[in-house]
Structure 1
Amino acid sequence: MDFSSLSLAPPLLQVLEELNFRTATPIQSQSIPVLLAGRDLVGQAKTGSGKTAAFALPLLHKTHLSRRRLQGLVLCPTRELCAQVAGEIRRLGRRLPGLQVLVLAGGQPIRPQLDALEKGAHLAVGTPGRILDLLQREALDTGQLSTVVLDEADRMLDMGFREDMERILGATPPTRQTVLFSATFPDTIEDLSRTFQKEPTRVTVVEEGAAAPDIQQLGYMCAPEEKTALLLRLLRHYQPVSAIVFCNLKATVVELTRALREAGVSADGLQGDLEQSERDRVMARFRNHSIRVLVATDVAGRGIDVEALDAVVNFDLPSQPEPYVHRIGRTGRAGRRGLALSLVTPKDDRKVETLEQGMGVKLERASAESLPPEDPASGVSLAAPWETLCISAGRKDKMRPGDILGALTGEAGGLNASDVGKIEIQDRLSYVAVAKGIVRVALQRLRDGWIKGRKQRIDWVR
């Protein structure tokens, strides 16, 4: 679709012509008419698909320049992304006289942002923590907001900003247009959409040639005594960033976890004898990629919901189809192709037959001989890229992700935002992932510094 066929204001079409943007990308051609019509939208597209222009052009088209009141708000997960999005909005709106676009992001002094808001602006791009801070100071007037865009909504949820996002949306007019853009579509995005959007249009752009959203199910044949060695070989071959390995017995979980760790795999176990606090710590590490492989029984694995799980491995096959389907259903979400590997011994023939009959699908047979020979010099590592720190304050202590991010990347912390991973806020505890190479520095900086105006107990979760 040509941009000229979209009902955009002449100054915007002029800029597009100047920038040599003539043909809209799929996400733009499907989203812009919906947004111009004022409808809510959930857009799923990868980075580089042109999604910023997909929401920026309708935002600019609907902006009344004569009213210097905030009319559009874009939430982004990081300060860097805020700057990029604001830059693109300004570039596309450069023929709109007097257009004011503000960046309201953490990690920057708040006074200049307060001064700019007092003077008035048409559009703002900000991080959830800073926007909430400005709302609490009553410095941000949302009364005239007509559109709120959540850009990279899945990433903001991963970083622990859900509560902040909900409070921000709750402080905006109920008549607003709500737009979600996300690279993936996990259950958490669906929940957010159901709560805050009105009959949204769903636009999904799948890259040409992308794998169908299904699960490849492979059964690797082996003798019972070869299972652990074969599992290691499969992990080194497929290199999953995160995988769950299911066992039928608690004792097998303990033994296998020990064997994987001794082989250099970043692994931990989840079985019924664990105290809830220990289970929480294991799951926090797994969710933020401080553990690559989680070994679990079906009972202990109930309630595990980890997005973007690369692989599920059945170290022991279950006897019935239901638990098998439940296990492998944790991979292959959000339009990605899943991988389910099963270790099949000669004693498992009856189980395989029952599973195949129950599912109506044949398990694809494979053997270790089909794998490339192991190369000791390849340097394949199954270590995790992140470590986890635990902070002794949580949601009920008014702790927010922005407080932790600020403590690590502000003047006192001095770390790069890229060295900080997922932040998870629980009732009385918070977990933050930091890059493995700087964990000792991050630990010391947090122990030496202050978070929310007080010293906090900081533990390295290992």
Structure 2
Amino acid sequence: MNDEQDQTDVTDAPPTFAALGLGDAVLKALKDVGYESPSSIQAETIPTLLQGRDVVGLAQTGTGKTAAFALPILDRLDVKQKTPQALVLAPTRELALQVCEAFQKYASGTRGVHVLPVYGGQAYGVQLSALRRGVHIVVGTPGRIMDHLDKGTLDLSELRFLVLDEADEMLNMGFAEDVETILADTPDDKQVALFSATMPAQIRRLSKKYLNDPVEITVKNKTATASNITQRYLIVGYPQKADALTRILEVENFEGMIVFVRTKNETETLAEKLRARGFSAMAINGDVAQAQRERTVNQLKSGKLDILVATDVAARGLDVERISHVVNFDIPTDTESYVHRIGRTGRAGRSGDAISFVTPRERYLLKHIEKATRQSLTEMRLPDVDAVNATRLARFDDAITAALGQGERVEAFRDIIGHYVRNHDVPEVDVAAALAIVAQGDTPLLLDPAAERARPTFTDKAARTERPGRGEDRFDRGQRRPRHASDKAMKAYKIQVGKRHKVEPRQIVGAIANEGGLSRGDFGAIKINPDFSIVELPADLSPDVWKRLENTRISGKLIELSEDRGPRGGGARAPRSGADDGPPAREKKPRHKKNRDDD
């Protein structure tokens, strides 16, 4: 960047979004989702982008940068133009989907806006059909965008806006060459916004080469969560989450609680499970009518309802002082959502509690949250049998004490019990025990310690399915990682990138997982050689996965996945003779030259 370019240090945000120059349709959408005032990055970036300037935004995840670029793009969109006007590049399919959902949410007040996510792991047919019908905004990963450019199925000739989201992460994952190729294949007069948590030399070079006199906007990293909120996490396998939540609900002393899940369907499913276990719970999500939502929230405020199971969108703008606890049943994939979620508790200066369920595969998300908020979360132990039983006895005692306070009713029942004792010659304490059985029903009041000790703990169950999360594949280049303790059959595969291409294990895992639709737990040992690498993947890769990986690139080079048949010391056995060698490597096609000057 030039020394003369603007340097802006964001400090104070204006009080409203209306002051930033956004149109009525976008402002209405913001009001509908409960946004009241812009964050620092939004306050500085939105007016700058509305003026048509290029922007370099230095901000951590969780500062609200998605809205910072999405809102001005939507405000200036021409819905009559059917070819893509905006392209957002994201390093992972998870982030691409999240950005796409944000665009759709902010576009709710503008009719006819079409947003398309483009990423590996989704069938080409869905994407091709949408592109033929016409889309205004494309949000995708560099590998799949390059694929469409190669095939000539993505027309960027009339592109007006391009966003690089988490640019440093994209470069770290080996997408540098792809990103530069995409930038070169787009019109010179487009407006570019680049967002990055850091500013390494490679990002500065990219900015200087492809951005036009950009305004640099810096948001200083501040602790984004309130100090009066106690933040804890529990490592638990996904199938055990409902049982773990039940244990916590029994022991925690809470007034009102919001339990956050990722999907609309899960809100209803979990609320129903909680009601079946005796808890007062209701669900709200984007499909719940406004009148019903208001009734449910009022019930939570008045104490008629104790637990609200909600999605992020449904809980936006929710302000109920009675909420003492927030539980992230599904931990959010971005810190911005985490901060918004736990901000529902600890209101009006009161203390609050936030508990996050983390599966072993999601440990990397926990690290991202701690890094972005600059606060450590405390690991908690699931309440044991003794703690649960002690709580149940205490509540049983409280119920008896409360009933004894109802003088007239107690007097009436005393006569009835006395009549039974006289006629059946049974001690009063036995009658009381029998009445407790009637009240309790078939469910035992107390857990059986012996039976509970014989069962695997929640942590044990979680450990059985533990897989490394993103960011946990940190082993030396060229070193093999030990095989996971798993029943999954693994096989050695060969990819045509190695040490001379400057690849690292995390780049291999990131690219293949994103494009192939695999999870991080599908990877075994990785061996990086000078000209190729050997990767252990599931032995039963489907034809669909093979097809997705045909066009996958790492450091700009096609990986050309095939089964490994060569001997290698300490490696996996070669497959049996006659085993399927997978689809042949795709013949390289000349790069799609659209939008470049013809030489």
Structure 2 residue 108 is the aligned partner of structure 1 residue 108: no
Q: What is the aligned counterpart of 1:52 among 56, 66, 78?
A: 66
User: Is residue 2:18 matched to residue 1:18?
Assistant: no
After superposition, the Cα gap between the structure-2 partners of 1:420 and 1:176, relative to the gap in structure 1 and judged at 3 Å, is farther
The answer to whether structure 1 residue 170 and structure 2 residue 184 are counterparts is yes
Q: Which runs of structure 2 are paired with 1:202-213 in the superposition (5 Å)?
A: 202-208=216-222
Relative distance call for 1:444 and 1:405 in structure 2 (3 A) is farther
**Residue 53 and residue 189 in structure 1: after superposition, are their counterparts in 2 closer, same or farther (change >3 A)?**
same
Query: Secondary structure at 1:386's aligned position in 2?
Result: coil
Q: Is the 8 A contact 1:4 1:22 kept in 2?
A: no
**Contact 1:107–1:406 under 8 Å retained in 2:** no
Aligned residue type for 1:103: P
**CA distance, structure 2, for counterparts of residue 155 and residue 191 of structure 1:** 16
Note the C-alpha offset of 1:69.
1.6
Partner of 1:181 in structure 2? Answer: 195
Preserved CA contact (<8 Å) 2:167 2:196: yes
Provide closer, same or farther for how the CA distance between residues 410 and 128 of structure 1 changes in structure 2, counting only shifts above 3 A: closer
> In the alignment, is the contact (CA less than 8 A) between 2:88 and 2:165 conserved in 1?
yes
Aligned-partner Cα distance in 1 for 2:38–2:24: 16
Aligned partners of 1:136 and 1:31: how far apart in 2? 33
Q: Secondary structure at the match of 1:206?
A: coil
Matched position secondary structure for 1:82: helix
| Aligned counterparts of 1:132 and 1:457: Cα–Cα separation in 2 | 30
Contact kept in structure 1, 2:116 and 2:138, CA below 8 Å:
yes
Distance 1:90 1:139 in 2: 23
The alpha-carbon distance between structure 1 residues 385 and 164, as it changes in their structure 2 partners (threshold 3 A), is closer
CA distance in 2, matches of 1:445, 1:387: 26
Q: How does 1:59-208 map to 2 (within 5 A)?
A: 59-208=73-222
Paired with 1:158 and 1:114, the residues of 2 have a C-alpha distance of: 29
- Cross-structure match for 1:452: 560
| Alpha-carbon distance between aligned partners in 2 of 1:87 and 1:117, rounded to the nearest angstrom | 18
Q: Distance in 2 between matches of 1:188 and 1:205?
A: 20
List 4+ stretches of structure 1 deviating above 6 A.
Answer: 399-404, 418-421, 423-427, 443-446, 457-462
Q: CA deviation at 1:116?
A: 0.8
Root-mean-square deviation (CA), in Å?
4.0
1:108 to partner: Cα distance: 1.2
Distance 2:76 2:507 in 1: 31
Say whether residues 1:386 and 2:474 are aligned partners: yes
The alpha-carbon deviation at position 112 of structure 1 amounts to 1.1
* Distance in 2, Cα, partners of 1:209 & 1:116: 41
Deviation at 1:405, TM superposition (A): 5.2
> Is this contact kept in 2: 1:75–1:149, CA < 8 A?
yes
Which amino acid in structure 2 is aligned with residue 393 of structure 1? Answer: Q
Task: Please say if 1:416 is aligned against 2:506.
Answer: no
Provide Cα deviations, 1:145-171, integer angstroms capped at 9, x if missing partner: 001101011111110000110111111
What is the CA-CA distance between 1:206 and the residue it aligns to? 0.5
Contact 1:74 1:125 survives alignment (8 Å):
yes
Is the 8 Å Cα contact of residues 85 and 125 (structure 1) preserved in structure 2?
Answer: yes
- Following superposition, the deviation at residue 110 of structure 1 comes to 1.1
Matched residue type, 2:37:
T
Cα 1:14–1:424 change in 2 (3 A) is: farther
Instruction: Tell me, in whole angstroms, the C-alpha distance in 2 between the residues paired with 1:425 and 1:41.
Output: 38
TM-score, structure 1 length as denominator? 0.53
Q: Deviations over 1:277-314 (max 9, x none)?
A: xxxxxxxxxxxxxxxxxxxxxxxxxxxxxxxxxxxxxx
| CA–CA distance in structure 2, aligned partners of residues 156 and 35 of structure 1 | 22
- Report the number of matched residues: 278
1:29 alignment counterpart: 43
CA distance in 2: counterparts of 1:426 and 1:88, whole angstroms: 41
Distance 2:126 2:507 in 1: 19
Within the candidate set 40, 48, 56, 1:42 is matched to 56
Structure 1 residues 131-154: Cα deviation after superposition (integer angstroms, max 9, x where no partner): 000000000000110011010111
- Equivalent residues of 2:67, 2:102 under 8 A apart: yes
- Partner deviation per Cα, 1:375-434 (whole Å, 9 max, x = no partner): xxxxxxxxx85346766623999x9999975655677xx74147779x999994469xxx
Deviation of 1:47 (Å): 1.2
Residues 78-106 of structure 1 show CA distances to partners (whole Å, capped at 9, x for unaligned) of: 11111110000100011111110000111
Q: Which residue of the partner structure matches residue 595 of structure 2?
A: none
* Higher alpha-carbon Rg: 2
In 1, the alpha carbon distance for the partners of 2:514 and 2:139 equals 20
Structure 2 Cα separation of the partners of residues 50 and 180 of structure 1: 14
Tell me how far 1:207 sits from its aligned partner.
2.3
